[in-house]
Amino acid sequence: MTLPLNAKLFTTALTDSSLTINSSDGICAITVYNTTSTAGSVTGDQQIQSTTSSAISIGENESYNVTIPSSKQVIDGLTITAPSGCTLNITAIR
């Protein structure tokens, strides 16, 4: 992946909390990695036809990645949840 010279990184370890990524955050790529045996999840906020988004579980040593192929678009409406006992390492590119 080739990044523009002005790409900025965001990193955090999310524990017993949630983080919602909206378009105003300017995130074009994100990786979520679970370091614990307690599952975390990611959930979109969109609906396709009659099917609403539902949580995708991220188990121990699993990762979830989203990359937007166009530099003119950003991720919007993604909630990352780390319940009690779960730590999700997050790296995002702005």
Residue 22 falls in which region: left (phi positive, over 0), alpha (psi -120 to 50) or beta: beta
CA distance 32 to 45: 17
- Break the chain into its structural domains and give their ranges: 9-93
- Looking at domain 9-93, its CATH class is mainly beta
In degrees rounded to 5, what are phi and psi of residue 24? -65, -15
pLDDT of residue 4: 56
pLDDT confidence band for 1 (50 / 70 / 90): low
pLDDT of residue 72: 82
pLDDT of residue 69: 85
pLDDT confidence band for 67 (50 / 70 / 90): very high
Q: What is the mean pLDDT of residues 80-88?
A: 98
